[in-house]
């Protein structure tokens, strides 16, 4: 199991980036940069490429529907170039709250668009002239829809790799099936190892049945808050705030994918309560209403022995890459946690 970390989009990036250089020496395998409606992930990934030597750099995730497919491909090829082939393109559809509310782009057919975006990206990386006619994207634009001056083009530069790995963030049954079919990696959210086979197993099995063997095994990338030590219950409880944001606030009623996933986990009553409280502005109460079982099951904050047991459960559920949020306030503790995680993963 590889050990990575996520750098949050809320601030303090330069300090976090320089800390990554120490964590890289401690064995960190991967760094992921989130993108919501804060600073873009691309500029920060370029900065990380300059100050690191070995770790994989991942967008976690780029909002696919707010960029053209060819721009996404160009961006990925550029990041792969400046990092000497260390970039993985993490993509996701996000949701209407961000795509429509912040970008002013219609949230339309996310599943079909993601498939076509991946297909177009791979054409660009192979330096083919991009001639594509899909249900959602047509390149070049036909004369009756444009000026008539568009012509097929190919990428000027030769990419470091013609097959940059793609990891898709997905949680719905059809989206997870597509991910297992076409992507190198899968990034689920709120991953509970004891329930993963029940929730996602059929979709993963159906997608893998159609998977091109050239893609290799699916890299299952799971994000969790992490801290190793005694008496860290308060740090574990802090994850309630983030859980409540997604379960209660990332989407309107009937359009919140994270709330729907919580229902699928068996917490229908709690999901409704968290959403009601959050949407009415009672955020602290919403956080308190997140089930304790869900807080614990989606965390790696606790004593070393307990963390080792949870790592084993994640491994048994098929997780191959752990993307941690290092929640301890002291830098030395975060460094020690990465070192311990690497040893625990090796012991597995």
pLDDT digits (tens, 9 = 90+) for 229-272: 999 999 999 999 999 999 999 878 888 889 999 999 999 999 99
Q: Quick one: average pLDDT of 15-43?
A: 92
Which of these, 52, 61, 50, lies nearest to 6 by C-alpha position?
A: 61
DSSP code for 66: G
Task: Single out the residue of 98, 119, 93 nearest to residue 108, CA to CA.
Answer: 93
Task: State the pLDDT confidence band at 10, using cuts at 50, 70 and 90.
Answer: low
| 130, 124 contact by CB (below 8 A) | yes
Q: What pLDDT is recorded for position 348?
A: 86
pLDDT tier for residue 139 given thresholds of 50, 70 and 90 = very high
Say if residues 156 and 73 touch (Cβ distance below 8 Å).
Answer: no
- Containing 194, the helix (H) or strand (E) segment is helix 193-209
Q: What is the pLDDT of residues 217-228, one digit of tens each?
A: 999 999 999 999
Evaluate if residue 25 carries a pLDDT over 80: yes
The predicted-structure confidence for 302-347, as pLDDT tens digits, reads as follows 999 999 999 999 999 999 999 999 999 999 999 999 999 999 999 9
200 alpha carbon, distance to own chain's centre: 16
pLDDT at 253: 85
How far, in Å, CA of 307 to CA of 340, rounded?
10
Say if residue 319 is exposed, middle or buried (CB neighbours under 10 Å; 0-12, 13-18, 19+): buried
pLDDT at 279 over 70: yes
pTM of the shown model: 0.94
Residue 4 gets which letter from DSSP? E
C-alpha 221/C-alpha 243 separation (Å) is 18
pLDDT in tens, 151-180: 999 999 999 999 999 999 999 999 999 999
Q: Cα–Cα–Cα angle for 215, 211, 221, nearest 5°? A: 60
**In the chain, beta strands by DSSP E:** 2-7, 30-33, 56-59, 62-63, 87-92, 132-133, 138-139, 166-169, 185-187, 219-228, 300-302, 321-326
DSSP state at residue 247: I
CA distance 76 to 79: 5
* Burial classification of residue 50, based on how many CB atoms lie within 10 Å of its CB (0-12 exposed, 13-18 middle, 19 or more buried): exposed
Burial readout 191-212 (b: 16 or more C-beta within 10 A, e: otherwise) = bbbebbeebbeebbebbeeebe
How many residues are listed for the chain in this entry?
A: 348
Measured CA to CA in angstroms, residue 328 lies from 125, 216, 303, 316 at distances of 40, 35, 13, 27
Q: What local confidence, expressed as pLDDT, does residue 11 receive?
A: 67
| pLDDT of res. 14 | 87
130-to-76, 133, 283 alpha-carbon distances in Å: 16, 10, 47
- Could you read off the pLDDT of 58-113 as tens digits, one per residue? 999 999 999 999 999 999 999 999 999 999 999 999 888 889 999 999 999 999 99
Q: Is residue 15 very low, low, confident or very high in pLDDT (cuts 50, 70, 90)?
A: confident
- Cis, peptide link before residue 61, omega less than 30° from 0: yes
């Amino acid at each position: 199991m590889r050990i990575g970390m996520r750098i949050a989009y809320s601030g303090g990036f330069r300090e976090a980036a320089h800390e990554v250089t120490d964590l890289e020496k401690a064995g960190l395998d991967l760094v992921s940069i989130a993108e919501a409606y804060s600073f873009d992930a691309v500029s920060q990934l370029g900065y990380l490429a300059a100050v690191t030597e070995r770790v994989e750099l991942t967008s976690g995730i780029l909002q696919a529907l707010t960029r053209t497919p060819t721009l996404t491909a160009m961006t990925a090829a550029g990041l792969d170039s400046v990092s000497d082939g260390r970039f993985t393109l993490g993509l996701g559809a996000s949701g209407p709250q961000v795509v429509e509310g912040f970008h002013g782009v219609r949230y339309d057919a996310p599943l079909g668009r993601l498939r076509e975006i991946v297909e177009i990206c791979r054409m660009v990386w192979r330096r083919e002239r991009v001639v594509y006619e899909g249900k959602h994207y047509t390149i070049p634009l036909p004369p009756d829809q444009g000026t008539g001056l568009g012509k097929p083009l190919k990428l000027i530069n030769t990419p470091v790799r013609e097959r940059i790995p793609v990891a898709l963030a997905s949680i719905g049954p059809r989206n997870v099936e597509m991910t297992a079919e076409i992507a190198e990696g899968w990034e689920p959210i709120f991953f509970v190892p004891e329930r993963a086979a029940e929730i996602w197993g059929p979709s993963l099995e159906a997608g893998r049945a159609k998977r091109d063997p050239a893609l290799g095994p699916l890299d299952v990338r799971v994000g969790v808050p992490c801290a190793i030590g005694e008496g860290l219950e308060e740090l574990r409880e802090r994850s309630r705030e983030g859980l409540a944001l997604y379960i209660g606030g990332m989407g309107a009623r009937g359009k919140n994918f994270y709330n729907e996933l919580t229902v699928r986990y068996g917490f229908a009553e709690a999901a409704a309560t968290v959403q009601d409280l959050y949407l009415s502005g009672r955020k602290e109460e919403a956080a308190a209403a997140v089930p304790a079982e869900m807080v614990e099951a989606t965390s790696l904050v606790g004593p070393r022995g307990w963390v080792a047991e949870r790592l084993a459960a994640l491994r048994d559920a098929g997780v191959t890459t752990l993307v941690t949020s290092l929640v301890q306030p002291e830098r030395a503790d975060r460094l020690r946690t990465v070192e311990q995680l690497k040893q625990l993963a090796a012991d597995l």
